[in-house]
Amino acid sequence: MSEGDEVIVSAAESSAPALSAERLSKRFGDRMAFDDVSFAVGHGEVFGFLGPNGAGKTTIVRTLGTLIAPTAGAATVAGIPLTPENGVAIRRRIAIMPESPGLYLRLSVTENLECFADLYEVPDATARIDRALRAVNLLDRAHDTCGSLSKGFRQRVALARALISDPQVLFLDEPTAGLDPAATRDVHELIDGLRRRGVTVFLTTHRLEEAERLCDRVVILNTTLRAIGRPSELREQLFARTLEVRTRAVLPEPGAVFAGLPAVEGWLQDGPATYVLTVADPTVAAPAVTRALVAAGADVLSIAEARHSLQDVYLELVDEDRGVGR
Amino acid sequence: MMSLSRRRVGAILRKELREYRRSRSIVPTMGAVPLLFVLVPLIESTTQTASTLRQYPLLLYLLGVPAIVPVVLAGYAVAGERQQGTLEPVLTTPIRSQELVLAKTLAALVPSLAISYAWYGVVAAGVALLARPGVPSALLRAPEVVALLLFTPLLASWSIWIGIAISSRLNDARAAQQLGSLASLPTIAVTILIVAASSRPRSPSSSPSPCCSWTGSAGGS
C-alpha cells in the first residue's frame, strides 16, 4: 500500500460511517439508474437494499464498489471518500459478490481463490482459503474445476471468494439466488456470523423474508429512495396498527360496541363475523375490546394484532409508484 | 510514483496461462494460424538454389508469425472476460488497470513467443533436413537469424497492444479477434514489403526474387 492510501484512510476511518451516500445519482444517457439517494450505514450493520427489477440496486453496488463513477452526489465507502484516486484504497477494504458468480470455469475452486488471494495480497493465503471454503461448506470440492459445479455451488465459491480478503464492507448482490433451502440457511448463518464479527454487509435481495430476517435496516429503492428504516419502523410508518376480532356470530350492533371505546379509532367489518379495528396501542385496546364484547354478550373466538410483513410494505410502496407511473 | 504489484500481476498471469493450457481451442488455433508464413521459406528452400537464396532475406517472412499469433489471445483478453462475466469480480479487487494490462500483455506474449520460436525451430529443422546441400547455410544467415530473434518480441508486443486496445472496447471476443486480425494486417504488410524491398538482386545477372515469384504465382493463380 502506498503512503498516500494510509493518510486518506486514517483521516477518514475514525468518525465516518462504514458506508454513506449523500444525494447520489447515476445517469446513463437519458436513463436515470438511481437518483438523489442518501443513507448512512453503521459499522457491523446488515443493510438491505430492496426494489423491483431495474430499480438501480446493482448500479448502486457497482457505484459504491468503484466500478462506475456517480453522475452526482458524494459517498464514503469503508470510511473513505468515493473518488477516483481512492479507488484502490477502497477496494482493499471491500469485497463484492456479484449476482453472477463470474468464476474461471477451467480453473479449480482453489485456483480461483488463490488468484483472488493474490489480487488482494492477503498474507497466509492457504489458511484464508481453507477458512473461506470451510465457511461455505466447500472443503470437499476444493480441487474440482468450477465448470463442473452446480449453480448453487458456484454461488458458494463466489461467496468464499468475497470472504478471502476479510473485508470491512461486504456487498452481496442476491447472494441466495439459485441456492436450495439448506444452502440458503447456511448463507444466512454466515451473514449473521459476519455481523457478529463487525463486518458491514450491504445486501441486495428480492427475498423479502430474507431481508426481514437478516437486515438491521432496509432501503426500498425504486430509482429514488422510497423508504429507509428498520422493517418494524417501516410497517408502522405505512400501516395503521389494527386488531382483528373474530366472533362466533355476527354482532347485531357492532357500532354500539366499538364506537364508544376510547382506544378504538375506527372499525370496519371484514367478513361475516370478523372486524378490523384501527387502534393507537393494541396492548391498551385489546383488553378494552374484550370487555366490551363480553358485556355485549358476544362469543369471542380471537382478538389479535394484525401483522404486516415487509412484503406488505414493499408492495404498498411499489404499487404506489406504479399508480403514479414512476 | 505508482508502484506495480508483482503479486497481482503474477496472479493474473498464472491464471491466464492455466486457462490457455486447459483450453482445447486456443493453443491449437495459435499454432495453426501462422502456417502460411512458415510454408513460404520451407517451400522456397526446397525449390531454390543456394546462390539464389543467398541474395534474399527470405527468413524474415517468419516475422509474420509473431505479428499474427498474439491476435487470438489479445482479442480474448478483455472482451472474452467481459463476455464470461469474469472481468467484474477482478475489477472489484485492488488491482490497478496498469497491472491488469501488463499481466494480460505478458500472458499473451509468453505463449506467442514460445509458438513463434517453436515454428522458427521447425523451419530451421525442415530446411536442414529437406533442402539441397548448401541451402541451409544460404538461408539461415546470422544477421537474419539475429534480426528475427530480436524483432519477434517487438512485433508480438505491438500486436498484443493493438489487440488489447481493441478488446477493451468491445464486448464480443470473436469480434475483437477478427478486428485484431484486420489491425495486424498493416504490420504484416510492412514486414512483407521490407522483405520484398530487400529482395532486389544484387547483380543484374541474378535470378528473379523467390519472394516475388511466390507472390506473383499466388496472385496469378
- Tens digit of each residue's pLDDT (9 = 90 or more) over A295-311: 999 999 999 887 777 77
pLDDT band at B1 (very low <50, low <70, confident <90, very high): low
DSSP assignments along A81-121, one per residue? E--GGGHHHHHHHEEEE-SS----TTSBHHHHHHHHHHHTT
Q: Which residue has the higher pLDDT, A149 or A308?
A: A149
Give the mutation candidate from A64, A94, A115, A164 for the B interface (greatest B CB count, under 10 A).
Answer: A115
Find the mean pLDDT for residues B58-70.
85
pLDDT digits (tens, 9 = 90+) for B66-102: 988 888 888 888 888 888 899 999 999 999 999 999 9
pLDDT of residue B219: 34
Q: CA B137 to CA B119: how far, in whole Å?
A: 18
Handedness of CA B152, B154, B158, B160 (dihedral sign): positive
Helices B70-77 and B97-130, interaxial angle, to 10°?
A: 160
Tell me whether residues A120 and B92 touch, CB distance under 8 A: no
Domain A240-305 top-level CATH class: alpha beta
Cα distances (angstroms) measured from residue A263 to each of A134, A250, A284, A308? 54, 22, 7, 20
Backbone dihedral angles phi then psi of residue A283, each to the nearest 5 degrees: -70, -25
Give the model confidence (pLDDT) of A62-75 as tens digits. Answer: 999 999 999 999 99
pLDDT confidence tier of residue A294, bands split at 50, 70 and 90: very high
Q: Look at B18 and A111 and tell me if their CB atoms are within 8 Å.
A: yes
Predicted local distance difference test score (pLDDT) of residue B201: 55
Instruction: Record the pTM.
Output: 0.78
A207: closest CA among A194, A228, A226, A188?
A188
Contact: B89, A106; criterion CB under 8 Å: no
Query: How many CA atoms within 13 Å lie on the side-chain side of B135?
Result: 23
ipTM above 0.90, yes or no: no
Q: How many domains does chain B have?
A: 1
B interface test, pick of A118, A121, A166 with most B CB neighbours within 10 Å: A118
Q: Please tell me whether residue A234 adopts helix, strand or coil conformation.
A: helix
For position B187, what pLDDT does the model report?
79
Contact A96 B89 (CB under 8 A): yes
Instruction: Report CA A241 to chain centroid distance, whole Å.
Output: 24
Give the angle A191-A194-A198 at the CA atoms, nearest 5°. Answer: 140
Rounded Cα distance between A151 and A310, Å, is 28
The per-residue pLDDT for B112 is 92
Q: Which residue range forms the structural domain that includes residue B32?
A: 7-199
CATH 3.40.50.300 in chain A, residue ranges: 3-235
Partners of residue B10 in chain A, C-beta under 8 Å: 118
Instruction: Please provide residue A312's backbone torsions phi and psi, each rounded to the nearest 5 degrees.
Output: -60, -45
Mutate to test the interface with A, among B5, B17, B92 (most CBs of A within 10 A): B92
Distance CA B122, CA A117 (A): 40
Could A67 and B92 be called an inter-chain contact, meaning their C-beta atoms sit closer than 8 Å? yes
Statement: residue B200 has pLDDT above 50: yes
Which residue, A220, A222, A231, A286, is CA-closest to A258?
A286
Helix/strand number for chain A, H first, E second: 12, 14
Instruction: List helix spans (H) across B131-172.
Output: 135-139, 142-167
Alpha carbon dihedral B189, B194, B200, B201, in 10-degree steps, equals -120
Task: Tell me the nearest-neighbour CA distance from B17 into chain A, angstroms.
Answer: 11
Asked if B45 and B135 count as a contact pair (C-beta separation under 8 A), the reply is yes
**Beta carbons of A65 and B95 less than 8 Å apart:** no
Check residue A3 and give its pLDDT: 38
Whether B204 maps to a domain, the answer reads no
Contact between A115 and B7 using a beta-carbon 8 Å cutoff: no
Which residues from A are below 8 Å from B when comparing CB atoms? 2, 65-67, 88, 91-92, 94-96, 98, 100-107, 111, 114-116, 118-121, 158, 161, 165
Task: Report the pLDDT value the prediction gives residue B199, as an integer from 0 to 100.
Answer: 62
The alpha carbon of residue A67 is apart from the nearest alpha carbon of chain B, in Å, by 7
Q: Round the average pLDDT of chain B to a whole number and report it.
A: 82
CATH code for A3-235?
3.40.50.300
Cβ–Cβ < 8 Å for B69, B30: yes
C-alpha A56/C-alpha A221 separation (Å) is: 7
β-bridge pairing A46-50 and A217-222? parallel
B218 within domain boundaries: no
The reply to whether B211 falls in a domain is: no
Which one is predicted more confidently, A293 or A208? A293
Is a pLDDT exceeding 60 seen at residue B20? yes
β-bridge pairing A169-173 and A200-204: parallel
- pLDDT band for position A292 (50/70/90)? very high
- How many angstroms separate the CA atoms of B147 and B166, rounded? 28
B22/A115 Cβ within 8 A: no
**Would you state the pLDDT for residue B216?**
36
Mean pLDDT of the region A72-82:
95
Distances (CA, A) of B126 to A322, B51, B55, B102, B130: 74, 19, 20, 35, 6
Q: Once rounded to an integer, what is the mean pLDDT over residues A200-213?
A: 88
By a Cβ cutoff of 8 Å, what residues of chain B touch chain A? 2-3, 5, 7-8, 10-12, 14-15, 18-19, 22-23, 84-96
Q: Pick the residue from chain B with its C-alpha nearest to A119.
A: B8
pLDDT digits (tens, 9 = 90+) for B118-143: 999 998 898 888 888 888 888 888 88
> Using the 8-state DSSP alphabet, how is residue A206 labeled?
S
Portions of chain A given CATH number 3.30.70:
240-305
Q: Which residues contact B12 (CB under 8 A, 6 or more apart)?
A: A115, A119, B90, B95, B99, B100, B103, B104, B107
